Amino acid sequence: MANLIDGKAIASKIRGEITAEIAALKTKGITPGLAVVLVGEDAASKVYVSMKEKACQDVGIFSDEHKLSADTTEAELLDLIDKLNCDLRIHGILVQLPLPKQINTERVLEAISPHKDVDGFHPYNVGRLVIGKPVFQPCTPYGVMVMLKETGIDLNGKEVVVVGRSNIVGKPVALMCLAQHATVTICHSRTKDLAAKVGNADVVIAAVGVPEMIKGNWIKPGAVVIDVGVNRVGEKKLVGDVEFGPAAERASAITPVPGGVGPMTITMLLQNTVESARRTCR
Ligand SMILES: Nc1nc2c(c(=O)[nH]1)N[C@@H](CN(C=O)c1ccc(C(=O)N[C@@H](CCC(=O)O)C(=O)O)cc1)CN2
């Protein structure tokens, strides 16, 4: 039976360290500030945004909330971003995704100053990651890497299979694993014989957004399984992208859903915001 990788516990430990770092910054007259922008009424986004605001309060980050209606135009959102780019109280800007259809997500992400891009989605920060000199790294993949490190899992020479090729998780986590000297395979909807690819992995990172798509009996005995999926099934139940029970019987270590990668995402957002504030006093 696999060891459970407790994302909640790791996140809580790191948040303690972040709280201490912020207290030290405040003695130098710097209070890290994060602008959180939500456009529209998406139920999951509302939950994530309120979790982010609460996390900011807990660690001592000034959180500047902007809740805009679902019919906000792209020009209005770009105007707000311009103002936040120039606001000296703000070290990080976060626009919650997904955005409503009338707004071009790429244009919005590119409008955020790369120096305040604590989500790590701006092409400048993506490019820094590609060349192995990251500044701000996307929070979910960054959280995955911190979890692996905290659990003592070394990727050097390992076969890592990433299932999913999104800009937010799949592609960046693959680059981060490569930087840790893993041999990385990215699988996606057109991949042939996914079961065999997953079965070859020492470490599986599942980020497809399809409930329990990765079957437990595909997992190589002793492999590590990181499940990035947070899928709502029915009214209340959350499941990952991996069939947890059968996978846990074969894996050496596995993340649960909820309580695995999810809590790390917001923790790394706090970390990036503190890093951005620290950079202002260099
Ligand atoms: N601007 C961004 N938008 C989105 C991001 C992002 O990193 N930046 N990621 C996701 C959503 N997300 C953060 O925004 C996020 C997802 C899940 C969790 C989390 O803690 N999940 C819990 C379960 C919470 C629940 O009950 O729903 C868990 O897995 O234990 C935090 C943040 C898309 N948009």
Tell how far the Cα of 28 is from the centroid of ligand 1, in angstroms. Answer: 32
Check the annotation: does 118 bind a ligand: no
pLDDT digits (tens, 9 = 90+) for 144-168: 999 999 999 999 999 999 999 999 9
The ipTM estimated for the assembled molecules is: 0.97
Q: Are 206 and 228 in contact (CB under 8 A)?
A: yes
Mean pLDDT of the 111-117 span: 98
Check the annotation: does 164 bind a ligand: yes
pLDDT at residue number 280: 85
* Tokens found for residue 79: 């105007």
pLDDT at residue number 132: 96
The set of catalytic residues is 52, 96, 119
% of the chain exceeding 70 in pLDDT: 99
Which residue has its alpha carbon closest to ligand 1 atom 14? 48
* Tokens found for residue 249: 């019987």
* Tokens found for residue 236: 């209340």
pLDDT at residue number 281: 65
pLDDT digits (tens, 9 = 90+) for 48-104: 999 999 999 999 999 999 999 999 999 999 999 999 999 999 999 999 999 999 999
Q: Are 226 and 206 in contact (CB under 8 A)?
A: yes
Mean pLDDT over all residues of the chain?
Answer: 97
Mean pLDDT of the 224-245 span: 95
Tell how far the Cα of 27 is from the centroid of ligand 1, in angstroms. Answer: 31
Which residue has its alpha carbon closest to ligand 1 atom 19? 262
Q: Are 70 and 39 in contact (CB under 8 A)?
A: yes
Ligand 1 atom closest to residue 44's alpha carbon, by position in its atom list: 27
- Maximum C-alpha span of the chain: 56
Mean pLDDT of the 208-231 span: 98
For residue 182, the number of C-alpha atoms closer than 13 Å in the C-beta half-sphere is 25
- Whether 252 shows a pLDDT value over 90: the answer reads yes
pLDDT at residue number 282: 57
In order, the DSSP letters of 108-153 are HHHHS-TTS-TT--SHHHHHHHHTT--SS--HHHHHHHHHHHHTT-
Pocket of ligand 1 (CB under 6 A): 47-48, 51, 94-97, 119, 139-140, 230, 238, 257-259, 262-263, 265-266
Q: How many other β-carbons are positioned within 10 Å of the β-carbon of residue 66?
A: 18
**Band (235; pLDDT cuts 50, 70, 90):** confident
Which residue has its alpha carbon closest to ligand 1 atom 31? 262
Q: Are 166 and 210 in contact (CB under 8 A)?
A: no
Q: Which domains does the chain have, with CATH numbers?
A: 30-114 (3.40.50.10860), 139-262 (3.40.50.720)
Check the annotation: does 173 bind a ligand: no
% of the chain exceeding 90 in pLDDT: 98
Check the annotation: does 216 bind a ligand: no
* Tokens found for residue 169: 């998780």
Position 220: which residue type? K
**Band (236; pLDDT cuts 50, 70, 90):** confident
